[in-house]
Structure 1
Amino acid sequence: MVEEGGWQRAGGENTEIPEPDFDDPEGFVDDISNDELLPDMMAKAPREADGIENVVIIDGIPKTEKVAKLKEKLDGIWAKMAGVPIYQEFPTEMAPQKKSGEMMEHTKGYCFLEFEDEETALRAMENLHKYAFDKKHVFCANLFTDFEKFEATPETWVEPTRKQHEDMGNLMQHMEEPDAFDQFIVTFADGKQTESYLNRRPEIELLHSRKSWTNRGVDFSPTGKFVATYHDQGIALWVYTPQFAASQSKARGIWSRSHRFKHDQVDNMQFSPDERYIVTGNGARGDAHSTVIIYDVWSSQEKRKFTVQTGETGHMEWPHLKWSADSRYFARQTEDTISVYELPACGLLDKRSVKCPGVRGFSWSPKDNYIAYWVPEQGEAPARVTIISVPRRHEIRVKNFTMSTTSKWRGRTRARTSPCAWIDPSRARGAATCPHSRSST
């Protein structure tokens, strides 16, 4: 070695410096992962999903050699159902044409749509999922970021274990109370104590007392058959079973648990009028979006999920979904639109929403499948109340008003329905609502 200015020169004075060899020796096994070796750097490494949260995969499009014609037709569907994507890609492959056998470019049956942001992509996925392109093709829409979920799907299907049926008795026996006394539930001590009572006369009767039964109050179903309790993991439904009063189990007693529905950090819930479905909702938590889930009570299966923008407040308006009186439909309001969904498939009615520019609120009729929606004054245009029929979407009546801020919808229960509007100019904001109907002689 020769020192030059404090440095050592490798290979001698007149030789070139050999290139170092970084190859591992033969038989070397690296048993240290990058996460263990460089934890700080790997924590900052970009994830595989970074930058693709706004990409939607549409599966189920036709496989055809008429690529340009297919794109033209799909562009119309994107614009109507999801908004115009900023980029779209249709993977193709060479395949023989059916008639001539000539090799031509064909679509592979799926495409990628990139939208402006993640929220637009979420709405597009919800609107395009299960959309019927024609009799043979139904779209299946998923976010690109869901690929990890599908990768974790086991290759072999395992039949789920059938839950053993347990007879709960007559779930409507609370309606057979001889003196028709109602039950009510009180939650106190910051929600840590819950008691249910029978509203007897002259003194009320304590039926049930329990600690930490619910996180935030309880809700009765429309007929009182179910009581819903709130928990960090979701909603539990309970039924009145006095025959189990002596049970020491937490799931059995005066009120016995019949169903559980998972929805983390749930804030709200709602029953459909016929108690066949429940709707659960939670507010935004940090970067997470607010979500609304519809469950079938009979099967405990999730029917549909919506991702909801909550704005600056972080809270969504509740109830987010509004039900028709016969529970055949539910509707939700978004910007300038009202979307009506049909049960039990929970699909968008006629695959399109009702356009209502400037809509501020809506309500179902308490008897018939009519929707009344309200649009406030805009410049010189007066406020407007419109009543439409469902499912035909026919406009039953349109009425303009001035100096109005809210409206209510009234109808007769006998003979034909005769809607009329009630205007309240004193409220700063409001919505078209449908109070109970009045009888006409």
Structure 2
Amino acid sequence: MAEVMSMEAIRAEAARLNIDLSAVDWNSIRLPPGEDCGIISDDEDLNEGDQLEFDAGFGSIIVVDNLPVVPREKYDKLEGVVRKIYSQIGVIKENGLWMPVDEDTGKTLGYCFIEYNTPQEAELAKEKTNGYRLDRAHIFAVNMIDEIDKFMNVPDKWAPPEIKPYTPGVGESATLAYW
């Protein structure tokens, strides 16, 4: 870190080097990214030591589908089960688990959103719990929320895949051996 100098010391050094400080365009000075050079911000809304939360988009949010549909009286129990499963993988943000409820019936809709502190935790949660069997009827389908666009852009009409004829690779024979 650079040495911190008082304004008097800066004026004295500028005078020694014959620099007219009134001619310096202070707004054109830019610090290297991530370096404050010992200069404390004078912004009124920032206090020394405050941590700014960095919003990296939706990369740290997963969607867990195929949850049980339960009435309001079982909501807390289901939320507790889901939280227990997913908090073992990473840190879920405060208010980072949201299970929507149908306004008419008061029942959950069978899916939830979980926001982790990092995209890496979310990706790990997806890998570890996609296909997780909660019970016989509920096997989780887990996706990153960023992948939802991929599912929303599925063509309306199904087109069969292109069938390519088999061509043997190097060292393979076109004849099949039967046992």
Q: Specify the TM-score bucket, using the shorter chain as the normaliser.
A: 0.5 to 0.7
Mapping 1:130-209, distance limit 5 Å: 130-166=131-167, 168=168
Structure 1 stretches of at least 4 aligned residues deviating more than 6 Å after TM superposition: none
Correspondence for 1:239: 170
Residues 393-418 of structure 1 show CA distances to partners (whole Å, capped at 9, x for unaligned) of: xxxxxxxxxxxxxxxxxxxxxxxxxx
> C-alpha displacement at 1:50, in angstroms?
5.5
Deviations 1:230-270 (A, max 9, x none): xxxxxxxx5215x89xxxxxxxxxxxxxxxxxxxxxxxxxx
Contact 2:83 2:97 in 1 (8 A): no
Distance, in Å, in 2 between the alignment partners of 1:239 and 1:135 is 46
Q: Please give the secondary structure, in 2, of the residue aligned with 1:164.
A: coil
Which position in structure 1 is the counterpart of 2:106?
A: 105
- Where does structure 1 lack aligned partners over 5 or more consecutive residues? 1-48, 96-103, 169-237, 245-441
Q: 1:151 to 1:79 in 2, by over 3 A?
A: same
Q: Once the 2 structures are TM-superposed, how far is the Cα of residue 105 of structure 1 from its aligned partner?
A: 1.4
Max Rg structure: 1
- Give the letter for the 1:164 counterpart: P
**Mapped pair 1:72 → 2:80:** yes
Structure 1 residue 92, shift from structure 2 partner: 0.5
Q: Distance in 1 between matches of 2:166 and 2:66?
A: 38
2:101 alignment counterpart: 92
Structure 2 Cα separation of the partners of residues 115 and 84 of structure 1: 6
1:83 equivalent among 90, 103, 107: 90
1:155 Cα deviation after fit: 1.7
- What is the aligned-residue RMSD (CA, Å)? 2.3
Percent identity over paired residues: 27
Q: Is the 8 A contact 1:53 1:145 kept in 2?
A: yes
Partner of 1:59: 65
More strand by proportion, 1 or 2? 1
Q: Distance in 1 between matches of 2:150 and 2:84?
A: 30
Give the distance between the partners of 1:134 and 1:84, measured in 2 at CA.
25
Whether the 8 Å CA contact 2:91–2:117 is kept in 1: the answer is: no
* Higher RCO (CA < 8 A, seq sep 6+): 2
Change (3 A) 1:108 1:153: same
C-alpha contact (below 8 Å) 1:75/1:84 kept by paired residues? no
Note the C-alpha offset of 1:133: 1.0
Q: 1:158 to 1:50 in 2, by over 3 A?
A: farther
Partner AA of 1:239 in structure 2 = V
Who is 1:121 aligned against?
122
- Separation of aligned partners in 2, 1:83 and 1:118: 10
Q: 1:153 aligns to what SS in structure 2? A: coil
Q: Is the 8 A contact 1:125 1:141 kept in 2?
A: yes
Structure 2: segments with no counterpart, 5+ residues: 1-54, 175-179
Question: 1:77 corresponds to which letter in structure 2?
Answer: I
**TM-score, normalised by the number of residues in structure 2:** 0.58
Query: For residues 112 and 91 of structure 2, what CA distance do their matches in structure 1 show?
Result: 14
CA distance in 2, matches of 1:148, 1:60: 19
Q: Which has the higher helix share?
A: 2
Counterpart of 2:78 in 1: which secondary structure?
A: helix
- Counterparts of 1:159 and 1:50, CA distance in 2: 38
TM-score (norm 1): 0.25
- What secondary structure sits across from 1:106 in the alignment? coil
